[in-house]
Amino acid sequence: MRDVLGDFELARTRGVRDATRIAREAVRSGVRRLVVAGGDGTLSEVVTGVLDADLGTEVEIGLLPFGSGCDFARGVGVPRSIGPAIDGLATGERRWVDAGRVRYSAASGAESSSCFLNEASFGLTGLTAEWMNRVGRRIGPRAGFAVSAGIAIMLHPTSDLVISVDDKEVHEGFTSMVVVANGSFFGGGMRVAPDAAPDDGTFDVVVVGALSRSQLLVNFPALYRGTHISHPAVAVHRGVRVHARVRGSAPVYIDADGEPLGGLPASVELLPRAIRLFGLPVATTRPSG
């Protein structure tokens, strides 16, 4: 890092949401570049710290993919190998990207909020994030996400939801999964929103209708290929505001960038050109996989 970028100060996170505090305090003290060495969850915390303090124009962020999924880094083409990723911080391009802010119901019942760069999702994905935290991280990212998703599918009760995009109701009824995608990948390499790009000024909202457990398991591999969007139970909508509520009393969990947050009701808004990244490979808006 010093060979490539010169001297720097190292700050280690010591618990959940610590990256939010570190990023906010660093930028307020005059730091103008942050390198996030972690995964999507760490990046989400940093972005939350910066944007909640209205500091998005004061700093630029570089990525080193040290985490479990690193799906946002995958989507913008940052190499998983650390040597090339470090070299890219010096030679890559700068780019403004969109972010999202999700407001949700915390465990206490109070409304809370968080920002993200890659995705916010609920239903099956929220339960998968819960199981990833419990058991998945012990067996590695790709296998962990796959096993956690399998457990979630076997336990998952289909939820009765109402989904609106840009104030227009687009789905009403039983639902397996909804992903509000700013990036194209999630879950350790699943290409959930193949046409999503983090700099196009809109979300791709992937709604998976009610599927049986056997149907979910059979179609699970299609998520990695991105071919699931042709399934008749899947619809993709585009917009900048998403609202979701539950009909009934069963809880529905929500996550952002792979980290469990709380539950529905929830609303998600796009924050256009909110974060400037540096060290990105050229022309990576549409990754090949």
Tell me the average pLDDT across 92-112.
94
CA distance 276 to 82: 21
CA distance 84 to 75: 16
Tell me the average pLDDT across 250-279.
93
- End-to-end distance of the chain based on CA atoms, in angstroms? 27
Determine whether domain 100-270 maps to CATH 2.60.200.40: yes
CA distance 124 to 176: 6
Tell me the average pLDDT across 116-142.
74
Q: What is the pLDDT of residue 149?
A: 73
Q: What is the pLDDT of residue 57?
A: 96
Please tell me whether residue 142 adopts helix, strand or coil conformation. helix
- Alpha carbon 90 to chain centroid, angstroms: 25
- Count Cβ neighbours within 10 Å for each residue of 193-224 and write b for 16 or more, e otherwise: bbebbbeeebbbbbbbbebeeeebeebeebbb
| CATH 3.40.50.10330 domain span(s) along the chain | 2-99+273-280
Tell me the average pLDDT across 218-232.
87
The domain covering 2-99+273-280 belongs, at the CATH homologous superfamily level, to Probable inorganic polyphosphate/atp-NAD kinase; domain 1 (3.40.50.10330)
Q: What is the pLDDT of residue 86?
A: 95
Place 288 in a pLDDT band, splitting at 50, 70 and 90: very low
| % of the chain exceeding 90 in pLDDT | 66
Contacts of 3 (CB under 8 A, 6+ apart): none
Burial of 145 (0-12, 13-18, 19+ CB in 10 A): buried
Closest CA to 121 of 70, 183, 61: 183
Sign of CA dihedral 206, 228, 142, 252: positive
Q: What is the pLDDT of residue 289?
A: 42
pLDDT 10s digits, 54-87: 999 999 999 999 987 799 999 999 998 999 999 9
Beta pairing partners, 221: none
Using a cut of 0.75, tell me whether the model's pTM lies above it.
Answer: yes
pLDDT 10s digits, 131-180: 666 665 566 666 667 777 777 777 766 789 999 999 999 999 999 889 99
Q: What is the pLDDT of residue 111?
A: 93
Q: Using DSSP, how many helices (H) and how many strands (E) does the chain show?
A: 8, 12
